[in-house]
Amino acid sequence: MISMKSENILVIGANGQIGSVLVEYLREIYGVGHVVASDIRQPEIETGIFEQLDATNAQALAGLVKKYKVTQIYHLAAILSAKGEQEPLKTWDINMQTYFNVLEVARENQVEKIFYPSSIAVFGEQVDTKAEQWSYLDPSTVYGISKVAGENWSNYYFKRYGMDIRSLRYPGIIGYQSMPGGGTTDYAVDIYHKAVKGEVFECFLKADTTLPMIYITDAMDATVRLMEAPKEKIAVRTSYNLAGVSFSPEEIAASIKQIIPDFEITYKPDFRQQIADSWPQLIDDANARKDWGWRPTYNIEKMTQEMIKELTKKYE
């Protein structure tokens, strides 16, 4: 059930893999004039209100929140796991500074709800195969460390100031609309583009590296479902585990071969293998299912069919 109350939503990091799809999804629900897209870069095409914003600049952020009487912020700007390892301290500064700005500007301006994306990168070596909601968090990347810190700050602002902050630990997100950048799960989008273009795909992970992933449609549904759930249903104020499908490069390649039989994959693992090895293979999302009715609808076959169908149209 979507609330009938009028919302003014600010999406930070709107040009990224999740942001570019989420903005359109939110505009369909809340109306084009009620969703302000913002990013440090100009978008290729503007489909509604866009504001250039460097989220490390708290004053500029406060200006937008006041200008548009913002009631909800989706804070999607972050440097991801693989890219973050190139410049650990810069990644920490950017990921944390932008989030502190969001928290403080939201507190000072009575923003009603915040969405904070966390990640399966919060888990580390202590989790063997399956991550439970309350598994130990010992992340191996600076991105993961920043997400654990962000989760705890969310909980702190909830407890101390009563702020309604909601969060999901996203697995790798697979979608045809946009490209990811700087993540360890990025291969699982790139592989479809190469397959549809008839190119050989060189995978930077080993054939049997199973990781948790989710199809973009399920990810959008989970995000808005969480944000629209009645406040009293949100029992986890750090971040909810979220599961879609888990698969390895050889499994996704096999599903592509069902449709494109001459598709070829080769393997050349790089530094991202170590990051992937530190992550769980499976996620237990029982709390999300119980608290606000989450259910994924895509398995690997359905996802592959849709990816190939949509990308074929794109490259025609």
- Closer to ligand AKB at the Cβ: 204 or 294? 204
Catalytic pick among 68, 99, 143, 298: 143
Name the minimum Å distance from CB 279 to ligand AKB. 8
Q: Does 209 bind ligand AKB (CB under 6 A)?
A: no
Tokens matching residue 95: 């990921």
**Does residue 246 contact residue 212 with C-beta atoms inside 8 Å?**
yes
192 tagged catalytic: no
Q: How many CB atoms within 10 Å of residue 104?
A: 14
Name the minimum Å distance from CB 180 to ligand AKB. 6
Q: Does 243 bind ligand AKB (CB under 6 A)?
A: no
Q: Does 185 bind ligand AKB (CB under 6 A)?
A: yes
Q: Does 80 bind ligand AKB (CB under 6 A)?
A: yes
Exactly one of 95, 98, 101, 119 binds ligand AKB (CB under 6 A); which one? 119
Tokens matching residue 77: 């700007």
Which whole-number Å values give the CA distances from 316 to 39, 201, 312, in the listed order? Answer: 30, 20, 6
CA 26 from chain center: how many Å? 15
Cα–Cα distance measured from residue 92 to residue 98, given in angstroms and rounded to the nearest whole number: 10
Name the minimum Å distance from CB 32 to ligand AKB. 28
Strands (E) in the chain, as ranges, are 9-12, 35-39, 50-52, 72-75, 113-119, 130-131, 164-170, 172-174, 201-203, 211-215, 240-241, 245-247, 265-267, 282-283
**Does residue 150 contact residue 118 with C-beta atoms inside 8 Å?**
yes
Total H helices, total E strands in the chain? 11, 14
**Does residue 210 contact residue 277 with C-beta atoms inside 8 Å?**
no
- Closer to ligand AKB at the Cβ: 212 or 256? 212
| Angle between helices 17-30 and 216-228 in degrees, nearest 10 | 50
Exactly one of 25, 115, 157, 170 binds ligand AKB (CB under 6 A); which one? 170
Exactly one of 16, 139, 150, 172 binds ligand AKB (CB under 6 A); which one? 172
- Closer to ligand AKB at the Cβ: 130 or 257? 130
- Closer to ligand AKB at the Cβ: 80 or 288? 80
Minimal CB distance residue for ligand AKB = 183
- Closer to ligand AKB at the Cβ: 143 or 292? 143
- Closer to ligand AKB at the Cβ: 170 or 192? 170
Name the minimum Å distance from CB 27 to ligand AKB. 24
Q: Does 81 bind ligand AKB (CB under 6 A)?
A: yes
Backbone angles phi, psi at 61, to 5 degrees: -65, -45
Name the minimum Å distance from CB 192 to ligand AKB. 15
Q: Does 121 bind ligand AKB (CB under 6 A)?
A: yes
Q: Does 223 bind ligand AKB (CB under 6 A)?
A: no
Query: CA angle at residue 217 from 286 to 247, to 5 degrees?
Result: 65
Complete DSSP assignment for 258-307: TTSTT--EEE---THHHHHHHS-SEE--HHHHHHH-------HHHHHHHH
Name the minimum Å distance from CB 159 to ligand AKB. 25
Which stretches of the chain bind ligand AKB, using CB under 6 A?
A: 80-81, 119-121, 143, 170, 172, 183-185
The catalytic residue positions are: 143
